[in-house]
Amino acid sequence: SKYIMQYIAAITNPSQRAEVERVKNMLLKSNCVLEAFGNAKTNRNDNSSRFGKYMDINFDFKGDPIGGHISNYLLEKSRVIVQQAGERSFHSFYQLLLGGPEQLLRSLHLQKDPSSYSYVRVGAQLKCSINDNSEFKAVAEAMKVIGFSAEEVQTVYKILATILHLGNLKFAADGDVTLIENSKVVSVIAELIATKSDHVEKALLYRTVATGRDIIDKQHTVQEACYGRDAFAKAIYERLFCWIVGRINDKIEVKDYDNKIHGKNTVIGVLDIYGFEIFDNNSFEQFCINYCNEKLQQLFIQ
């Protein structure tokens, strides 16, 4: 899809209309942002798309792009917490840690060392053709061009930092009681997500159970607490990714288009799926991804 958009951008708008150039630039920059948050290094490809995407590109009667819409599906969110040997998590984490300025990292309580964080440690020392330092700046510039506010970009960084800190939380059992060993990390997470430390701790150590009319808080075992922490991290990242796609759509969607005034509106649809994969450990999530991709492939062929 990236090369299709680059081709469309190269051959359209010969008259150099400013509005069309703005739309073309936003469409190209949107791909840069989506690659940062949805792509990762795998054993087959240093920049492998780990989500499915369908994109409509709208054209006016002159054949110039005037907007678009992105639909995403099945982000491989399990990659947030675990990767196979020789693979990395999503580019966004490494770009923040290796490309973020010192002042930003200090405000997020982060070190410029991916090996310090459990969720991204596996891929910390891997050689990758992606230059995380320069890509951090390119993605920040792309988000600015698309229309993300400075506050929104800062919030994105805080969410990435929160996930990295979540991975470093350690749980221990004291008799029948489950405790968080490194409570300082809880305070950091609470600061980043703007909530109270005791609320974060309760969310990580307890689950709410409804029994008839009664609602009780049941404490996790150490294993349950680890599972809950990982599920929390995956859910946060997936919601962040969907929010980013939604914000991009807000900026690139065609608004107030009238056929009578602007002429016929033509659409090109671009389907970008990622391939069938078999891992050493195949989760139900991977089964769903493979099944969906095979169905889409058959639909596409038909």
What secondary structure letter does DSSP report for 110?
Answer: -
CA dist., res. 161 & res. 61, Å (int) = 45
CA dist., res. 54 & res. 76, Å (int) = 16
Q: Residue 262: is its pLDDT beyond 70?
A: no
How do residues 227-240 score in pLDDT, each as one tens digit? Answer: 999 999 999 999 99
Q: How confident is the model at residue 44 (pLDDT cuts 50, 70, 90)?
A: confident
Task: Quickly count: other Cβ atoms within 10 Å of residue 121's Cβ.
Answer: 16
Q: What are phi and psi of 206, to 5 degrees?
A: -130, 155
Q: Residue 276: is its pLDDT beyond 60?
A: no
| Backbone Cα Rg of the chain | 22
CA dist., res. 232 & res. 228, Å (int) = 6
46 in Cβ contact with 130 (< 8 Å): yes
- Residue 258 is predicted with a pLDDT of 67
Q: Residue 105: is its pLDDT beyond 90?
A: yes
Q: What percent of the chain has pLDDT over 70?
A: 95
How do residues 184-237 score in pLDDT, each as one tens digit? Answer: 999 999 999 999 999 999 999 999 888 778 888 899 999 999 999 999 999 999
pTM, two decimals, is 0.88
Secondary element (H or E) of residue 56: strand 52-59
- Residue 179 is predicted with a pLDDT of 94
What rounded mean pLDDT belongs to the chain? 88
CA dist., res. 119 & res. 193, Å (int) = 19
Q: pLDDT: is 22 or 202 the higher one?
A: 202
Name which of 140, 145, 164 is nearest 36 in CA terms: 140
How do residues 125-142 score in pLDDT, each as one tens digit? Answer: 888 889 999 999 999 999
How do residues 136-162 score in pLDDT, each as one tens digit? Answer: 999 999 999 999 999 999 999 999 999
